[in-house]
Each structure stands twice: as C-alpha cells, then as structure tokens.
Amino acid sequence: MTMQGVQAARAAFSFPVRVYYEDTDAAGVVYYANYLKFMERARTEWLEALGYPLAAFERAHGVAFVVRRAGIEFLLPARLNDRLDVTVEALARGASRIELEQKVLRETTELAIARITLACLDTSRWRPTRMPAPLAATLDAGAGTTLRAQRPSRGAPEFPESKEQETL
C-alpha cells in the first residue's frame, strides 16, 4: 500500500468531466444514462489514484468489479459545455463489496447523487469472492470514520427527500 493510495482513500475523490454534444439529448441536457458513464470513469480514475490501475489489477488478481446496485437521484440538469466534477467516496466495505456515494457537481451545485454498490467477482467462476487484500487494506487504512465494514443492505438506496417530492 502506497502513502499516495492511503491519502487518496482518505478524501473524497473528484474527476473532471466536460459535457460534449454527444452527451446531450434532444432537449439539450445530459441524457440520464450518461451520468452512469461519467461515474464509471470517475471510479476507474479513483482506483488508479489509490494505486490500482483497474485492468492490470483485475488481471493480476483474477477479479472483476461489477455494479451490483445503483440508485440515482437526478436533481438538476447538466448542459452542453458544462464543466463538471464527479466525486467518489467509499462509504462501506464488506468482504466482497464496496458501497460508494458518487455526486455530479457543477461547481458546488449537486446535479446528481448516486449510491453504487460494487461486487468483486472471481473471473474464472463469475461468483463473488473476497476483495484482494491490497485494495481492502488501502480502503481500511484510508477510511478513518467514513468507511466501515458492514453487512450489505437489502433495501433500496436512501436519499433525502427533495422539496419537489413533497409537493407531489
């Protein structure tokens, strides 16, 4: 485990994204599925910042990380040419999973918030397996009070109720 990896795990990670024409729909706003693409890129870069280039790490350990659950609340639209930041913060870790919170921000304004659960799979059997020890140790060492080991929740992701939902 590198000191750089521990420092990266301690803080919420941020990845810059610029909205291109290809990211938008006919209304001129980012198509909802593209937020998932932005978040995927941020998670890949987050692992790289922790010291674990994803493709090499998965090959070396015979594992793959897959999205087990994704819950997203869309708050405000992103538009063509917006400069966004996509954050990754580890919330909890189990033996074979990581629970993350990801946000898409325009400056300090939250546009989307997601709760993502990744499962670690053995690529020879495509069954859940323990997370490789080096990554687990980095997450545990860098987490402080943010990351805690816990059993997976079975319910839907919880998000704070928005004012718009109260009026519906």
Backbone angles phi, psi at 115, to 5 degrees: -115, 115
Q: C-alpha dihedral over 155, 159, 164, 168, to 10 degrees?
A: 10
Distance CA 158, CA 150 (A): 16
Backbone angles phi, psi at 3, to 5 degrees: -60, -35
Distance CA 7, CA 26 (A): 41
Contact 90, 147 (CB under 8 A): yes
Which entry of 23, 25, 82, 85 is annotated as an active-site residue? 25
Distance CA 19, CA 30 (A): 8
Integer angstrom CA distances of residue 107 from 65, 88, 160: 30, 16, 21
Contact 138, 50 (CB under 8 A): yes
Active site residue 25: yes
| Catalytic residue positions, numbered | 25
